Amino acid sequence: MRLNADIVFDHLPESLSPRMQGVKESAMRLRRPELYETGCRELEPDHLYVIREERLPQRVTVGKGCVIVCIGNSARLRWFAEHCCVITISGSADFYAVFNTVQRIFQHYDLWEDTLYNIISEHASVEAMLEASQQVIPASMLVVDAMFGCVAAVGKQAERAVAAGGGETVPSFVPATKRISVSSMDQFLATHDPSTEVSGAFRFEFEDMSTINVNLIDDEGYHGCLTVIYPDSEPKPGDSPTIEFLASLVLRALRQQGLDPDSERSALRDSLRAIVSDLPPDAYGKAALQAASERGTYVCVRFKLAHKLRQIPLAYVRNLLEADIAGTVAFEYRRSSLVAFVRLDDLAEEGSRRTALEQMLMPLLRSMEMRAGMSDHVGDLLEAKAFFLQASIALENGTLLDPDASPLYKFQDYALAEMVVNSIGQFPIEMFYTSGLRKLVAHDAESPTSYIKTLKCFLDHNMNVTHTAKALYLHRSTLIERMERIRELLGDDLSDPDVRLRLALVFKAIELHDDMQDRFEERSGSTWL
């Protein structure tokens, strides 16, 4: 196994009085130690050489990543330190003992590497990998998955965290349920960054303890995190690359075990993502969509996280939905939102399925401060794009028009507003006024009595005089007289459905007037959908 200068230095005994200087590489590319041969004029890249101070060459070419372990000190080492990493050892140390010590460090890591690969080949648990790593990293370790459930925990601090759910001296992000609750996410994410953009080891301090973390990431995204806890000490410089190596094998083991054992759900997820992205599904995916469509009716739900909670990985929400709501297939869309297709047939009796889904979604939406748009019923998943657009439109319109209402918006409630925005939004509303409607507008400009408001209310109540009068707090005879005057000015036959439809669209446009033009302009150049 290849190491780096930090790892070697960390394992040298204090009795040798080691000191390190010069240019060092963080990557683990360092080969096993060699004895410097007198007269050699080239030090190979990524090689470690053991040498006595008095045998340092006068002129030599130094390769990148080269490390010199020198017994004794000399002014000449300053030149070497400008070109490579130099570790000096007490001049009284035995040359061969130093060489054997460095060899044993490499042997120690070779044995660890072999043990980990044997565990993987035998399909053993991730916990066994962490236990085997105690000999190299004597600290508590946790592996959490994309849902922040505990996959494995070893070491006193990690075991206490899992058993007790946190406390004064242990991280509280792994409760007894072995799953992080939504309410605990803020505390965890205040210091932990699970973003798929973050690779490599990163540190944070938690409850007076240091931790080193490596996200488990591959081409498919974020799958969890390896966390190493140091309750009573500080991590050594060589721990980070060592933990990164362990994380790469942990991810390999997880993939071998199957991150998504449900191949059909995986095929549905990939196919639905392709359809909403205007890409054709492959033959296997198309067959999976057809089979799923025959088993029930779906709705599409699109989720949008609150700005302050954008650090929550979408994979967390995806897995949460699929675990808690039967028949759900969810996927990330353009790294900014989450889309789910939920099979209603698994939730309740036919008449109350949407209500049951809403009751399941509302606690999640409120706890995570999310908003969501819901489509009409989906009978054929091959038409998923149309219902994805419905959910997106509901989310967009609901967020804009009813920001203080329920965080779950239904397409059926915003379909008319969407039609108006698309048909009228680019034009002035007055363009669609009838000549009679213009007379009503002129009347309202000079009178405290609004004929427009009266007419709209009359149409909203299906032209029922009694219900309209009650809504306007008018006497029935007063309303009848006012409507006679309105009909005279309007000049149109309200019994004609086309007349009522045109008026309804204009009134809806007037209602949306404050934001309609801005929305149309924004959408014209938007790729949000």
Quote the CA–CA distance of 359 and 51 in Å, as a whole number: 73
Quick: pLDDT tens for 261-306.
456 787 888 899 999 999 988 888 888 899 899 988 899 999 987 7
Phi, psi of 223 (to 5 degrees): -120, -5
More confident: 363 or 178: 363
Give the number of other Cβ atoms within 10 Å of residue 33's Cβ. 20
Quote the CA–CA distance of 301 and 91 in Å, as a whole number: 71
Quote the CA–CA distance of 510 and 516 in Å, as a whole number: 9
Give the pLDDT confidence score for residue 175 in this predicted structure.
Answer: 37
* Tokens 């083991």, residue located: 253
Q: How many helices (H) and strands (E) does the chain have?
A: 19, 17
Tell me: pLDDT of 402 over 90.
no
pLDDT band at residue 172 using 50, 70 and 90 as cut-offs: very low
| CATH superfamily assigned to domain 263-415 | Reverse transcriptase/Diguanylate cyclase domain (3.30.70.270)
Q: pTM for the whole thing?
A: 0.56
Quick: pLDDT tens for 475-526.
999 999 999 999 999 998 999 998 898 888 888 887 776 555 555 455 554 5
pLDDT average, residue stretch 13-41: 92
Quick: pLDDT tens for 10-21.
999 999 999 999
More confident: 335 or 105: 105
Mapped onto helix, strand or coil, the DSSP state of residue 179 is: strand
**Whole-Å CA distances, 448 to 108, 440, 442, 468, 521:** 91, 12, 12, 19, 34
- Dump strand ranges (E) for 252-370: 298-304, 328-333, 337-343
- What is the per-residue DSSP string for 310-340? TTS-HHHHHHHHHHHSTTEEEEEETTTEEEE
pLDDT band at residue 527 using 50, 70 and 90 as cut-offs: very low
Lowest mean pLDDT among 92-101, 241-250, 457-466, 509-518: 509-518
Would you kindly state where each structural domain of the chain is located, as residue ranges? 5-106, 123-257, 263-415, 429-524
Give the pLDDT confidence score for residue 65 in this predicted structure.
Answer: 94
Dmax over CA atoms of the chain, in Å, equals 117
Give the pLDDT confidence score for residue 327 in this predicted structure.
Answer: 86
Question: Which tokens hold the place of 86?
Answer: 């130099």
CA 451, 454, 455, 460: dihedral to nearest 10 degrees?
Answer: 160
Residues in the chain: 529
More confident: 187 or 247: 247
Report which listed range, 53-62, 101-110, 193-202, 487-496, is most confident. 101-110
CA nearest to 482, candidates 507, 449, 460: 449
Question: Which tokens hold the place of 12?
Answer: 């040298």
- What is the per-residue DSSP string for 205-221? EETTEEEEEEEEEETTE
Lowest mean pLDDT among 85-89, 259-263, 344-348, 373-377: 259-263
* Tokens 């019994």, residue located: 495
Tell me: pLDDT of 329 over 70.
yes
Give the pLDDT confidence score for residue 167 in this predicted structure.
Answer: 35
Q: Quickly name the fold that domain 429-524 has.
A: Arc Repressor Mutant, subunit A (1.10.10)
pLDDT average, residue stretch 416-421: 77
Q: 3.30.450.40, 3.40.50.1000, 2.170.190.11, 3.30.750.24: which CATH number matches 123-257?
A: 3.30.450.40
pLDDT band at residue 378 using 50, 70 and 90 as cut-offs: confident
Quick: pLDDT tens for 177-213.
444 455 445 555 555 555 545 678 888 776 667 889 8
pLDDT band at residue 356 using 50, 70 and 90 as cut-offs: confident
Give the pLDDT confidence score for residue 47 in this predicted structure.
Answer: 95
Tell me: pLDDT of 366 over 60.
yes
Lowest mean pLDDT among 107-111, 210-214, 406-410: 210-214
CA nearest to 67, candidates 34, 92, 37, 38: 34
Tell me: pLDDT of 9 over 50.
yes
Mean pLDDT score of the chain:
83
Give the pLDDT confidence score for residue 190 in this predicted structure.
Answer: 56
Q: Which helix or strand (DSSP H or E) is residue 238 part of?
A: none
Give the pLDDT confidence score for residue 513 in this predicted structure.
Answer: 64
pLDDT band at residue 112 using 50, 70 and 90 as cut-offs: very high
Give the pLDDT confidence score for residue 350 in this predicted structure.
Answer: 62
CA nearest to 150, candidates 138, 166, 135, 137: 166
* Tokens 């030149």, residue located: 79
Give the pLDDT confidence score for residue 194 in this predicted structure.
Answer: 52
Give the pLDDT confidence score for residue 342 in this predicted structure.
Answer: 93
Give the pLDDT confidence score for residue 206 in this predicted structure.
Answer: 62
Give the pLDDT confidence score for residue 160 in this predicted structure.
Answer: 46
Give the pLDDT confidence score for residue 355 in this predicted structure.
Answer: 86
Q: Which helix or strand (DSSP H or E) is residue 408 part of?
A: strand 408-410
